[in-house]
Amino acid sequence: MDTTRNIYIAVIDDDESLCLSMSRLLRAARLQPITYPSAEAFLADTKRPKFDCLMLDIQLTGMSGLDLRRRLSAVMDDTPVIFITAHKDPEVRTQAEASGCAGYFRKLDSGADVLAAIRRTISVADAEREKGDSNENQEKGGDEGDALSCKDLRHECAKEIGNGFYVENTILSRRRP
Close Cβ partners of 28 (under 8 Å, ≥ 6 residues apart): none
The full set of domain ranges for the chain reads: 8-172
Packed helices 16-28 and 111-139: angle between N→C axes, nearest 10 degrees: 60
Condensed to tens digits (0 to 9), the pLDDT of residues 11-54 reads 999 999 999 999 999 999 999 999 999 999 999 999 999 999 99
Mean pLDDT highest for which of 34-38, 109-113, 154-158, 160-164?
Answer: 34-38
What distance lies between CA 173 and its chain's CA centroid? 12
User: Going by CATH, does the domain composed of 8-172 fall within 3.40.50.720?
Assistant: no
Condensed to tens digits (0 to 9), the pLDDT of residues 77-126 reads 989 999 998 888 888 888 888 888 888 888 888 888 889 989 988 888 77
Give the number of other CB atoms < 10 A from CB of residue 146.
Answer: 9
Torsion of CA 13, 19, 22, 27, to 10 degrees: 120
